[in-house]
Structure 1
Amino acid sequence: MPALANRFRAQASEIFQAGVIAADPRLAVQRHLQTDGERLFLGLRSGNWRHIHLIGFGKAACAMTDVAQEIIPHAWLAEKGIVVTNYDNVDLVKNCQVFGAGHPLPDASGLHAAKTVAGRLAQAQAGELVLVMVSGGGSALLPYPAESLTLADKITTTRALLACGADIRQINCVRKHLSRLKGGGLAKLAAPADLHTLILSDVLGDDLSAIASGPTVPDDSTYADAIAILDSFGIGRQIPLAVQSHLQQGAQGLHPETPKSGDPLFIRTSHALIGGNTISVEAALRRAAELGYQTQLYSTQLCGEASAVAEEWALKAKALITEIREPVALIAGGETTVTLQGSGKGGRNQELALAFAISAERIGFCKGWTLLSGGSDGRDGPTDAAGAIVDGGTLTRIRAAGLDPAARLADNDSYPALQAADDLLITGATGTNVADLQILLLHPNE
């Protein structure tokens, strides 16, 4: 690969890393949690709690909970804290019981962890504080099915939702109505204790009811909404009969709805949004400027089918490169989706990157660009890659390895194609999760 191409790829990686660092969960917690030795300060809220239950779940749970228990005097903590995270991010946390669990599909370890959390919440009393650390991935990591459902029912339903192209809000709306903890369920179990949540957002627009399926905040979606989502994607009859029956009974008022806005349950609850994708995008823009690029914010809401998003972006980039004289960095944040049509291996970021390269070639946009698309958590779909870095030579390298890029894309098999081109972005688990980042570098003179 030419030295110049390597330099541009290195710069794209550096800009991406700046965005990941900006989502550092330890720093985020430190900014929002302090004590003067007498009172605990939770943003604008404070109290002199002397019995604090510490619970963290999500991909950043270890780091968030670790720094929280460093700040809070040990004598104020009720018992060992409980931490639930994905297997890649499992780490030792002092004074805490740490559980590894499955993601993106829930597993038995997650169910055991969820029951442990529920058991702790049942012990919380009035005048005590339940301090919860929530980060992306929490929905899958803490599965506790409604009484009439099994873990297998939730796994099958989640798999169908992930495959059909539903976005995170739609997926979580359904999951809330199959769960004891999601959609305000955790807050219900914590009552009558005080409850405060520190939230690291992986959801575009920072909708608190969608982050980890909103376990500690009101949920204004309904059973009817969940049914409508399943029907809109044509999977209403593909999910287990027990799930279909549960949702229908809920819509008929035979199961209680999730707690809504205005419910007295939330009088003693509060929350703080301590980080999210927008903050990471801003950090990426700053680093790109420091590297000498003119910067443009392409989108903070990049969503939709990955291949369609890639094609639209390629067309806009080709038009832009004819108008600029100096290098430009276009930065985006978001979370695209993939509707599975094939049986290959990949993730939404890899699919977006490969689709961009194919679209660029088709429209004659073959030089002067480098695109990185990666997940801030270091994992893109069920792979060990965070995403990919592609450029004008990507398709040539794939074909030199004897692979057909278009055929691989059609089979949702981007991973082996990008691996053959040495274009996979491998970062390992980052310990945070604030959705995806995209960096498109344009060099009009190259």
Structure 2
Amino acid sequence: MKPLPDQTDLVLLRQDALRIFQAGIAAADPYQAVKHCLAPKLFDGYSQIHLIAFGKAACAMAQAAQEIIPAEKLADRGIAVTNYENVSSVDNVDVIGAAHPLPDAAGLKAAQLIAERVQNAQQNELVLVLVSGGGSALIPYPAGRISLQEKIATTDLLLASGAAINQVNCVRKHLSQLKGGGLARMAAPASLHALILSDVLGDDLSAIASGPTVADGTTYADAIEVLKANGVWDQVPSNVRQHLEQGELSHIAETPKPGDAIFNNTGHTLVGSNTISVNAMLQAAQKLGYETELYSDHLCGEAREEAEKLATHAKALTVNQPIALLAGGETTVTLKGAGRGGRNQEMALAFAIAAKQQGLTGNWAFLSGGTDGRDGPTDAAGGIVDRDTIKRMTQAGVNPTGLLENNDSYTALKASGDLVNTGATGTNVADLQILLIQPAP
């Protein structure tokens, strides 16, 4: 009979998984990401710099930028808009708290201030825009006669109908003055450059914060078709229908399209993303002595199903030296129970159960966590499980399978001491997964 792997090895394996996870989070640090991309010489040739930031990481990004922009070139005070929880003071910047995910009046006022500032920018001046996740909800600026409540109602109807996020964005862009390239249009003839921290898998710039600084390939006719196809056209407020119909008839200007001259002096730099964080994890794992495998850079689907697939993949591997299987993405959870947890905790619990059922041998540890430090409505970032997790849960008197069925992964992982708690990280580039396996003795 082969001896069980040493308990000390298991502790070290868990520590390595946490180190690799932290390397992924660090690569998305908004302050450092901006610091790495900016230098004072980049502002040569511009008479003034207008600093605008919006999103969950707006304060950290703005702090880094204002430390680098030559003080004599900073036009007035910068403007940063973030969710109330992330508000912090920034030198030379007016910080405005607004609501997320549902917009509020404070966000509308902030959007109007941004629009006024950007429209006053002149040729030979630069509008530096710092974009991070959540920006779409934080700076709502409805077009025409549409009210904020009418825009929210339209978005809610679309989401409830099961519309895909790209469909929702298509409609939102055509109901907004800032989204879908609207901010870039306001900035012309000044130059504009956006530093973007992506919370969107695949890093589609037109999807991040609904693309306020990039061209929009969709039309008013597309937006109308989205509402009709999802069965909500007759339910949306009349002001919304009239606005879209007027746009389709070319009585209202379209969103700026690819090739539009307003983008001649517009640029973008992706400063953080899930891909960048996954690559940082690969490097960290290699430095710790692991053979690395990129399992997926676009991990989607039902969390528990993806956990089972990963366990099956791991079981089929021939492991001759310590290996790290790494992934990034954003799974989903179909809520059927009344428990508490998040997609990362659910995936961790499901993996522990699947590994036990499939007989994954040797020493292993699996971590799934959200880079923002918040997984669902809990205080945990995710979960880290190992070969003894199910035993610890059973000894604590809980039923892992029953809790999984009740979507109560938080209770299960808390019982086994397997929650990952990082606190709020101040960034968000979706989720990261790490599976470490040592050769069986």
**TM-score between the two structures when normalised by the length of structure 2:** 0.86
**Residue of 68, 72, 94 corresponding to 2:69:** 72
CA distance in 1, matches of 2:243, 2:336: 27
Q: Which residue of 1 aligns with 2:190?
A: 193
CA distance in 1, matches of 2:359, 2:52: 53
* Mapped pair 1:442 → 2:407: no
Equivalenced residue count is 435
Q: How does 1:406-421 map to 2 (within 5 A)?
A: 406-421=401-416
Q: Which runs of 5+ in 2 are unaligned?
A: 1-5
Greater CA deviation, 419-428 or 401-410?
A: 401-410
1:204 aligned counterpart, secondary structure: coil
2:440 aligned counterpart, secondary structure: coil
CA distance in 1, matches of 2:116, 2:209: 20
Greater CA deviation, 399-408 or 110-119?
A: 399-408
Larger CA Rg, structure 1 vs 2: 2
Q: Which residue of 2 aligns with 1:335?
A: 330
* Mapped pair 1:14 → 2:19: yes
Q: Deviations 1:113-155 (Å, cap 9, x if unpaired)? A: 2232223223323332211011222223223334454444555
Q: Which residue of 2 aligns with 1:350?
A: 345
Q: Which residue of 2 aligns with 1:385?
A: 380
CA deviation after TM superposition for structure 1 residue 261, in Å: 0.5
Cα RMSD (Å): 3.2
1:420 aligned counterpart, secondary structure: helix
Q: Which runs of 5+ in 1 are unaligned?
A: none
Percent identity among equivalent residues? 59
* 8 A Cα contact 1:184 1:214, kept in partner: yes
CA deviation after TM superposition for structure 1 residue 436, in Å: 1.8
Q: How does 1:9-408 map to 2 (within 5 A)?
A: 9-36=14-41, 41=42, 47-155=44-152, 169-223=166-220, 225-226=222-223, 236=232, 241=237, 245=241, 249=245, 252-253=248-249, 256-320=253-317, 323-342=318-337, 344-365=339-360, 368-399=363-394, 403-408=398-403
CA distance in 2, matches of 1:61, 1:158: 24
| Compared CA separation, residues 179 and 308, structure 1 to 2 (3 A) | farther
CA distance in 1, matches of 2:51, 2:403: 46
| Compared CA separation, residues 421 and 178, structure 1 to 2 (3 A) | farther
* 8 A Cα contact 1:277 1:333, kept in partner: yes
CA distance in 2, matches of 1:411, 1:207: 35
| Compared CA separation, residues 337 and 329, structure 1 to 2 (3 A) | same
**TM-score between the two structures when normalised by the length of structure 1:** 0.85
Greater CA deviation, 237-246 or 431-440?
A: 237-246
CA distance in 1, matches of 2:239, 2:295: 40
CA distance in 1, matches of 2:291, 2:46: 50
* 8 A Cα contact 1:374 1:380, kept in partner: yes
| Compared CA separation, residues 56 and 419, structure 1 to 2 (3 A) | same
